[in-house]
Amino acid sequence: MIELKNVSFEYENTAIFENLSLLVAEGEKIGIIGESGCGKSTLLKLMAGLYVPSSGEISVDGASRPDEIIKKVSVVMQSPMLLPLSIIENITMGHEYEKEKIEKIIESANLKKWIDSLPEGLDTYLGDRADELSGGQAQRIAIARAMFKDAKILLLDEPTSALDGENAASVLEAISHFTHDKTVVHVTHRKEHLDGYDRIYLMKNGKLSEA
């Protein structure tokens, strides 16, 4: 469960939103749409423990401190950060893994064809070359990382923004299968990507209203 109580957030002395409240029940899937710059990505980062509210309370699966919240969620941001490590290390973040699980994740995230084309496959070192990856490749690695972490709560910020139509559709399908038993908050400007969600909100002028 995610609960926001009278949450306010300011950036450079400008209020992004004030006294915002929201309750997302366990297993519920909600979408948040709105124009660029309206604050929807900021809201997601607050839910992820990446930002601290100016005032108000945030609780995520019983955790309230940012360092506790971040352990409770899997996050796919619009501009994912990749580390100067191998592909497999970027997915597993150094944790032990089963080969069968990784293979399934690679397939689901639409990474298999690309990884199979690399001489060192999953052991390919990204290093400084992370900046040379296409946005789609970086995004799919981030999605695979979220699948591997397998947290009960998944936060998505435009997860297919860097993908073409065909790849976007396949990744959305993979996310749908992967999240069937999870709590999901999905931020996007494309309402059609939220088919089947329990609720869809519009963020405008710092406020949420059901769309």
CA 118, CA 27: separation in Å to the nearest integer? 38
Say whether 18 sits in a helix, a strand or coil. Answer: strand
* DSSP symbols for 63-82: B-SHHHHHHHEEEE-SS---
pTM for this predicted structure: 0.87
The residue ranges of every structural domain in the chain are 2-210
Q: Is 152 left (phi over 0), alpha (psi -120 to 50) or beta?
A: alpha
List, for residues 163-200, the tens digit of each pLDDT value.
Answer: 777 777 777 877 887 788 899 999 998 888 898 899 99
List, for residues 46-101, the tens digit of each pLDDT value.
Answer: 999 999 999 999 999 999 999 999 999 999 888 788 888 999 999 999 899 999 99
Fold assignment, 2-210: Rossmann fold (3.40.50)
Looking at residue 194, its amino acid is L
Contacts of 7 by beta carbon, 8 Å cutoff, 6+ apart: 17, 19, 20, 21, 46, 53, 55, 56, 57, 58
